[in-house]
Structure 1
Amino acid sequence: MQQVIYILGIVLIVYVLISILLYFLQDYFLFKPEKLSKDFQFYYENQETEEYNIETRDGATINGLRFKAKDPKGVVFYLKGNSKSIKGWGKFAVDFTRHGYDVIMVDYRGFGKSTGRRTQKAVKRDMQVVYNKIKDNVSEKYIILYGRSLGSGFATKLASMNNPRMLILDAPYYSLSKVAKKFIPFMPLSLLIKFPMPTYKWLKYVNCPIHIIHGTDDKLIPYKTSVKLSRIKPKSTTLHTVIGGGHKNLNTFESYHQMLTEIVNSRPRKVDLVGSSIHVQHSSKPTNAKV
């Protein structure tokens, strides 16, 4: 009996130590930032950019870029994934500038030239500050929120608190807690994770059109995640499927660009259901109809 208690004690100690390590090292596993020097010069071929810095109330600096379109018809606020910096992510701005949209990209705290202690609350606050700056110059009916992977949660939170033209989610997660549980199912993540990012909760309060794009072969965030998210606000959500698409390669599929073209150039319109089969029901009961 004493041996059993001893073994259980050792197991408990190891479990607690692993929990402590996960708590303090999760930033290392979740974020893969690329840091840039203050004098780094951004350059993108055939793209006109403007760099800016926003000072936050707690003394941090949020660095970002505006990619300019000729005679812009709106602005896309692009919230990127968890790796690198806008130095590399900037190449995706062309997918919107070619359709006549300016693109705003920023680096989260600790990425690129941005500074400050990174917490879920701080990043959410930073993104709202940036959104407010955009809103000062552009009516919300011309603002599109685009969230990619990690950025999908922040984009959803912004959309739930504001009134953009639309929300586009690229390979979104139900919550980061759910993603983490897939890899470490035996840990008490509800207590440990600093960035739970409950996208599914925030999505309930989004009132604009929602477009979700996901690849069927995504190994990190399964396609079924987007199917589940699309059921939260079914009347205002459209799920776009990239057959064979993974987590990082959707931009290499022609179908992705076709979807994006249709999404950003679409205008919401009410469907006339008069004369449609919407209220027609199949019946298993025999009828008196003669053949």
Structure 2
Amino acid sequence: MTEVESFLQLVVTAMVPFILAAQGTMLAGRAGVFNVAQEGIMMLGASVGFLVSLKLGGNGVGLLVAALAGAILGWFLGWVTTRFRLDQFVIGLALFFAATGIASLLYKVVIGVTLQPPLIPTLGRIEIPGLVAIPVIGPVLFDQSVMVYAAFLVSGLLYWYLYRTSPGLKLRSVGENPKAADSLGVNVAGTRIWASTAGGALMALAGAYLPMTYTGTYTEGMVAGRGWLAIALAFFGGWRPQYILAGAAFFAGMEVLALRVQVAGIDIPHQFVSMLPFIATLLVMMFALRWASVPAFLGRNYDRESRTGH
């Protein structure tokens, strides 16, 4: 494998947490729920996924339970903001702090303080026969873990659901004009809650992917800002699954490039190298926000008794 192919393969591997977290943000946002707890939900997903995999002996079970934990937080955000019309940003920040604290607490309760942290088997790569032999593209796209294939599949299914099905059209209408959707018989509250629930599950899967792919163990701070970058990616992608998928390649590319610079031993302070993905994001977002199409009712609670809907 050439150096270029190796770099691109790492980029595709690094895309997964960005894809899943940003698609979860997009899905909830399309229904009008603006979740800002990504960083905390990803930390909780990483902790729960690792601990369940360690104790029950299976990455599949760990991913499933992690998704369930994220779904519960997503459901809670959708429910309290829909039922009691509480501020979405405030509740999201509260969930971020709560999830981060729970993630750390669970690990300390189950594992305790150890000199040598326990390890779980990382996800192995699965070659797709025939396709993996394609020059350059084959090793990059078709020699990856099952979660890489799942992330791309989820993106395709979300595009199909949102733009090719009637339920997807109804979900988008809730995020654009919930009063009009309500008048046409769409269950606005139910749509918002389930979209937020599914979005939370995707965010937690993004977090669980990290210990199961990179380290084989859980460490505090391992999400390393990817949750906040996922919010930027949702805006960068115009709240459309296909553009988010493309934007994830840029975000992951900057992350892998920063790691390569550190490994290469170039005489640059590591603090500056760690800032590269965020600096690049800031520069790109300065231009991306000019054309990004944001759901009209994003972050706003719906009140059917009000003339304007909020």
| TM-score, scaled to structure 2 | 0.28
Q: More helix per residue: 1 or 2? A: 2
Larger Cα Rg: Structure 1 or Structure 2?
1
